[in-house]
Amino acid sequence: MTRTDDTAAESDRAETTSAASPRSDGGQRTASPLDALGEASDHTVENTRRDQLETLYRYYVYTPVSVLWDDWRARIGCTLILFYLAMGILGPLVVEPTTVMDGEPLLGPFENWEHPLGTDNTGSDLLSLTVYSTGPILKMMTAGGLFTVTVGTLFGTVAGYKGGLVDTLLSTVTDVFINLPGLPLVIVLAAIFSPKSPWLIGLLLSVAAWAGLARSIRSQVLTIREESYAEASRAMGIPTSAIIAKDILPHLMTYISVNLVHASRNVIFGAVGLYFIGVLPFSDPNWGVTMNLAYQYGAHYRMEAVHWLIVPIVAVVGLSMGMILLSQSLDRVFNPRVRASHAETADEVSAEEGNETETAASSWF
């Protein structure tokens, strides 16, 4: 054997030895082409996860926000709601609570920058009263709206989908609450329990508001459950809860979302009205309490005190208008055609950004 052949054999053995890897028993394992395939699969899994996250971001974040931002009603409504959220959450951290004789009685708006919205007949600052009244109202809205939508959706979907005895029982309960006189019932319950917690007041104001929503949702579910995709899910033995969550509720989200906004807006009027007529206790600052005191003083006909009545009215109207404009624009968010057009736009933007990145990368070589 020549020297050249010996050198070639030694190099082959070196390559084989370097390609081997240690085993648990101390031996060597020969490298396999599956190792490279495993590394490639790891990169594939990583790319797949990234693609899934990008898809979820586009579908649940980018597209809804872009749809809302294209609608002027949504821009104004969201701006108003964010303003009230900031006033209710951050306002008490910035504005100090007011006290009696905090300023000169019945100061008009912008007469004194220490009290930009003026004062009432006791010298209490109206800006401080407005700010500290916003937080409890927001809590009432959240509790009442979520309670109405949750109970109404639960009763309506289960009754409409299950049918039979379950439908009869749930529909009977729904009919009972529909026929209850809402305002007298709330007044009686408020007089009995005298609730002070904003969360409890929100639930109290919505104690019978869910029944109408449940009846409407039930009628829609009766139609949806006969669709081919719902029947296919039942034929495959998918649990009822999964069918309701994945096949029924997505088709009701527009209606549910709009009713959530309307239920929250109704809580505003209900709470302010009950505080105004003196049914709910005057323990905490509230726009209805301010309106009640202003009305008793005669602010509706005394020009020097008219701002005392106007300030809480403007606060109520502003929050209500924000909720109305938001509810009018929510239909576009759940409209499949509008979402599809915005999703295509997002894909085109992503493709253009990818091409620009590739072009920039290739310019370096």
Which pLDDT tens digit goes with each residue over 178-190?
988 888 888 888 8
CA nearest 262: which of 180, 352, 141? Answer: 141
Residue 365 has pLDDT above 50, yes or no: no
What are the structure tokens assigned to 317, written together? 């109207």
Residue-wise pLDDT tens digits, 253-282: 888 988 999 999 999 999 999 999 888 877
- The residues, ordered by sequence, that sit 6+ positions from 95 with a Cβ below 8 Å of its Cβ are 127, 128, 131, 132
Kindly state whether residue 32 falls inside one of the protein's structural domains: no
Q: How many CA atoms lie within 13 A of 39 on its CB side?
A: 4
Alpha-helical regions (H) of the chain: 3-19, 33-57, 63-69, 72-89, 91-94, 126-162, 164-178, 182-193, 198-205, 210-224, 228-235, 240-243, 253-276, 287-297, 306-333, 336-362
Q: Does residue 283 sit within a domain?
A: yes
* Cβ-based burial of 40 (10 A; exposed 0-12, middle 13-18, buried ≥19): exposed
What is the model's pLDDT at position 229?
85
Q: Residue 82 is part of a domain; what is its CATH number?
A: 1.10.3720.10
Does 183 map to a domain?
yes
CA distances from 340 to 55, 288, 335, 346 (A): 13, 44, 9, 10
**pLDDT(136) > 50:** yes
**Where does the pLDDT of residue 15 fall: very low under 50, low under 70, confident under 90, or very high at 90 and above?**
very low
The whole-number pLDDT of residue 329 equals 81
Q: Please, which pLDDT band fits residue 103 given cuts at 50, 70 and 90?
A: confident
Question: Which is nearest to 267 in space by CA: 175, 198, 191?
Answer: 198
User: What is the band of 360 on the pLDDT scale with cuts at 50, 70, 90?
Assistant: very low
Identify whether 18 is part of a domain: no
Question: Nearest to residue 53, comparing CAs of 43, 66, 62?
Answer: 62
CB atoms within 10 A of CB 286: 27
Beta strand 21-22 with 28-29: parallel, antiparallel or unpaired?
antiparallel
Report whether 314 contacts 302 (CB < 8 A). Answer: no
The average pLDDT across 115-126 equals: 92
Radius of gyration of the chain (CA): 32
**Residue 20: pLDDT over 50:** no
Beta bridge partners of 28: 22
Residue 359: per-residue pLDDT = 55
Q: Is the pLDDT of residue 87 over 90?
A: yes
Count of CB atoms situated within 10 Å of the CB of 237: 6
**Segments forming the whole domain that contains residue 109:** 74-332
> Which value, to the nearest 10 degrees, does the dihedral of the CA atoms of residues 236, 239, 243, 245 take?
-150
pLDDT higher than 70, residue 130:
yes
Residue 280 backbone zone (phi > 0: left; psi -120 to 50: alpha; other: beta): beta
Domain membership of residue 131 (yes or no) is yes
Average pLDDT over residues 21-42: 48
Average pLDDT score over the chain: 81
Q: How far is it, in rounded angstroms, from Cα 196 to Cα 208?
A: 20
Residue 344 in domain: no
CA distances from 307 to 83, 253, 287 (A): 21, 41, 13
Per-residue model confidence as pLDDT tens digits over 140-191: 999 999 999 999 999 999 999 988 899 999 999 999 999 888 888 888 888 8
Answer whether residue 224 is part of any domain.
Answer: yes
When divided into structural domains, the chain yields a total of 1
Q: What is the pLDDT of residue 32?
A: 47
Chain segment 286-319, per-residue pLDDT in tens: 899 999 999 999 998 999 999 999 999 999 999 9
- Give CA angle at 297 (293, 298), nearest 5°: 120
The answer to whether residue 59 is domain-embedded is no
Across 41-50, 213-222, 264-273, 331-340, least confident range? 41-50
